[in-house]
């Protein structure tokens, strides 16, 4: 029992210091590129383990919100798969990226929301149920939408087709998630005891992905890392800001706005890194590695800011404007 209690404490600490651990992973990748790069070929397996863990946490109730609040879910999904891909394409061209650097930006933009977003929304006093639903549904839609968006925005001359990308996402995302859901359905009581320890699996998996991708891209980071980092920061900020504005324009309440903002701004960069390392060059995985580091930092900052702003106060402050909008022609 002492061992389990200690492991649970470690899991809680890992979740609390997730952003710092990811940053440490990036530093390790830069400082020891040789050993770190050996992890890069294993990124798809690591992502599959993370997605299996995500599946273990899901229940049918997590998808019931689609029927109860279809407008909020549709708005969040549309924002996810429009704002981030288009922002990636625009920012990439603004910074003059070409070839695999641009493909890497678009891969990040076309990915579904990241699982860490649910924790950030919880800390930010946002709508956690909406956040979980958006993450789950977006991930299930990813095998279709992510390849279509990448091929549309990155160009049809890419050295990979829709079928190859679709198959990869099925293998590393959809199949592990469905297996996790099935295991929980069959052995729910046993899985319930494992849930407190799952954050440790996710944190270790993401950190190892960052170590491997950063290590494989150490030379590229030395030459274009600063410019790419600025582009990633701008991309993440665009997602957070435009996601919030889209939810506000749609008339969603403050807690839902926070959920949509975080869901749009925080991406499953592990999936982007997996696709990049499997089908493209290590350079295409660099934006995903940098995004993994930054969006956890920015998410923690946003959660800290919003946690100090009660949702009721924000709703009250915006009520007069919503009333004016209601009577506007």
- Tracing tokens 């099925």 back to the chain, one arrives at 170
Q: What is the pLDDT of residues 36-92, one digit of tens each?
A: 889 888 888 888 888 888 788 777 776 777 788 889 999 999 999 999 999 999 999
Q: How far is CA 231 from CA 98, 157, 189, 288, in A?
A: 13, 24, 45, 12
Q: How many CA atoms lie within 13 A of 277 on its CB side?
A: 29
Q: How far is CA 47 from CA 90, 206, 297, 319, in A?
A: 28, 8, 20, 42
Q: How far is CA 28 from CA 14, 50, 292, in A?
A: 17, 21, 14
Radius of gyration of the chain (CA): 19
Q: Is the Cβ–Cβ distance between 139 and 170 less than 8 Å?
A: no
Count Cβ atoms within 10 A of the Cβ of residue 62 and give its class: 0-12 exposed, 13-18 middle, 19 or more buried: middle
Helix (H, G, I), strand (E, B) or coil at 113: strand
Q: Taking the chain, what is the end-to-end CA distance rounded to the nearest angstrom?
A: 65
User: Rounded distance, CA 254 to CA 20, Å?
Assistant: 28
pLDDT of residue 215: 84
113 pairs with which residues across the strands?
A: 267
Angle between helices 128-154 and 70-94 (to 10 degrees): 40
Q: Is the Cβ–Cβ distance between 303 and 120 less than 8 Å?
A: yes
Fold (CATH) for 18-306: Na+/H+ antiporter like fold (1.20.1530)
Helix (H, G, I), strand (E, B) or coil at 94: helix
Chain length of the chain: 329
Q: Is the pTM of this model over 0.75?
A: yes
Which is nearest to 256 in space by CA: 81, 54, 75? 75
pLDDT of residue 15: 67
DSSP string, 255-318: HHHHHHHHHHHSB-HHHHHHHHHHHS-HHHHHHHHHHHHHHHHHHHHHHHHHHTS-HHHHHHHH
Two structure tokens written together for 150: 């990448």
What residue segments make up the domains of the chain, in order of their start? 18-306
Residue ranges of the chain with per-residue pLDDT less than 70: 1-5, 15, 62, 156-157, 312-329
pLDDT of residue 320: 39
pLDDT of residue 315: 58
pLDDT of residue 238: 96
pLDDT of residue 2: 65
């Amino acid at each position: 029992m002492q061992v389990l209690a200690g492991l649970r404490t470690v899991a809680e600490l890992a979740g609390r210091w997730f952003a710092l651990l990811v940053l440490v992973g990036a530093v390790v990748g830069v400082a020891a590129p040789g050993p770190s790069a050996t992890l890069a070929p294993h990124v798809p397996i690591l992502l599959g383990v993370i997605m299996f863990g995500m599946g273990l946490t899901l229940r049918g109730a997590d998808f019931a919100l689609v029927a109860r609040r279809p407008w909020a879910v549709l708005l969040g999904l549309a924002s996810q798969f429009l704002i981030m891909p288009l922002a990636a394409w625009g920012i990439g061209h603004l910074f003059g990226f070409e070839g695999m650097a641009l493909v890497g930006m678009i891969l990040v933009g076309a990915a579904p929301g990241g699982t860490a977003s649910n924790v950030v929304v919880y800390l930010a006093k946002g709508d956690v149920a909406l956040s979980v639903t958006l993450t789950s549904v977006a991930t299930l839609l990813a095998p279709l939408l992510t390849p279509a968006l990448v091929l549309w925005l990155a160009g049809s001359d890419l050295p990979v087709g829709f079928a190859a990308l679709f198959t990869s996402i099925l293998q590393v995302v959809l199949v592990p998630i469905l297996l996790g859901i099935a295991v929980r359905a069959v052995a729910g009581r046993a899985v319930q005891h494992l849930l407190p320890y799952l954050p440790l699996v996710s944190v270790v998996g993401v950190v190892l992905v960052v170590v491997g991708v950063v290590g494989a891209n150490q030379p590229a980071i030395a030459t274009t890392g600063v410019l790419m980092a600025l582009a990633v920061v701008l991309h993440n900020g665009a997602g957070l800001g435009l996601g919030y504005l889209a939810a506000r324009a749609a008339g969603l309440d403050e807690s839902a706005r926070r959920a949509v903002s975080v869901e749009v701004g925080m991406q499953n960069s592990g999936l982007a890194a997996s696709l990049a390392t499997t089908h493209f060059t290590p350079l295409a995985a660099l934006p995903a590695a940098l995004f993994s580091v930054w969006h956890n930092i920015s998410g923690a900052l946003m959660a800290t800011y919003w946690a100090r702003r009660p949702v009721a106060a924000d709703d009250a402050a915006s009520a007069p404007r919503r009333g004016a909008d209601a009577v506007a022609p």
